Amino acid sequence: MNRREVTAGLAAGLASLSALGATQASAAAPIGKARRPLRILILGGTGFIGPCEVEYALARGHSLTLFNRGRSPRAWPGHVQELLGDRSIGDLKSLEGQDWDVCIDNPTTFPFWVRDAGRVLAGRVKHYIFVSTLSVYRENDRPDADETAPLATYSGDDPMGETPATQAKGHAELYGPLKALSEAQAEIQFPGRTTIVRPGLIVGPEDPTDRFTYWPVRLSRGGTIAAPGDGTDPVQVIDARDLGAWIVRLAENGTLGTFNATGPSRPLTMKGLLGEVAKGIGLRPRLAWIPTDFLKGQKVEAWSDMPVWIPGQGETAGFARRDIRAALAAGLTFRPLPVTARDTLAWFRTLPATRQAKLRAGLAPEREAALLAAWRAHEAKPAAKA
């Protein structure tokens, strides 16, 4: 992609940035300058958490370089050096000849991406921050498991041969194991100077998945709303803006180690989450809590059909109960969940009508209506027999 093509995309980026900036301003306090400006390299930078890192780092007075394919150009509120390349084909030449204090690696799923970055950046980056995932863990059945819990193991043929192409062919179940191997490769390539951040479900404005967005959008439509379980199942989420800002602060402080990065700081249930969402958008919803077994019988899937939610029993008892005390001790903070809900809905309403018409997660209106009708019929059966 040439400079003209990159510039051509800035208009769309400006509109997106304007919408995001408006929601950020509604909750954010003034950001002070860092004690010492850093030279920060971000691999990626234009996805979901990347812009949050960039905007926070610029506000803190840091010097920013982004390396990516240039397919999602944006307008930034300050000077950002942008280098083009493609890690999927080993094209990292534009990274040669420069030094940075910190490298933040956002998009990596594949161990060979970390290996190749290490080969180019070895000796030229003092601190490497790898953004991983809570999906690296082998099991999710133990509540309050910390960062020492066993990791998923790779069962494929060649971890260094896994690429975006192999994942597109149906190897998506290797996502967690490959992330775990990428973490290990980070320690190999940047020994003694690596930070591993394992986020949970990342939410907020510009979320491309709609997993959290579904709830403020659905509550805003009104009517009777199908809700999963009995409301007591635990949930954990983190606003992308809180995650991005905290990662920059880890860079500023030179913090090393491994951290589960999700929230909030106190236990949260599904009922509590929907209550906070309702508070953020100023509505009092009418919720129909539908038991887990009935949802399974109706083939309503946790996480996809009922976003954010996973049953808090059995093999998923610890899925949304990860121990985050290490991250809290390292300075992770959270904005109020109602603010996240309000800002997310405000952002979603700036999107084109075609994008708003079909959410990428959650129940479609007609399917939710059928589910509610089936649940009402089920509840009515004992009364009819009497």
pLDDT digits (tens, 9 = 90+) for 60-117: 999 999 999 999 889 999 999 999 999 999 999 999 999 999 999 998 999 999 999 9
28 band by pLDDT with thresholds 50, 70 and 90: low
Tell me the CB-side half-sphere exposure of residue 48, using CA atoms within 13 A: 19
Q: Give me the percent of the chain exceeding a pLDDT of 90.
A: 85
Residue 4's pLDDT is what? 31
Name the band, by pLDDT with cuts 50, 70 and 90, for residue 2. very low
- Whether pLDDT at 16 is above 60: no
Where does the pLDDT of residue 329 fall: very low under 50, low under 70, confident under 90, or very high at 90 and above?
Answer: very high
| Residue 156 pLDDT class (50, 70, 90 cuts) | confident
Residue in 11, 253, 234 with CA at minimum distance from that of residue 143? 234
User: Which helix (H) or strand (E) element contains residue 90?
Assistant: none
Residue 383, pLDDT score: 60
Across all residues in the chain, what is the average pLDDT? 91
pLDDT confidence of residue 5: 32
As a whole number of angstroms, the distance between CA 320 and CA 121 comes to 36
Residue type (1 letter), 348: F
| pLDDT, tens digit (0-9, with 9 covering 90-100), for 273-302 | 999 999 999 999 999 999 999 999 999 999
d(C-alpha 95, C-alpha 53), whole Å: 20
DSSP assigned state of 234 = B
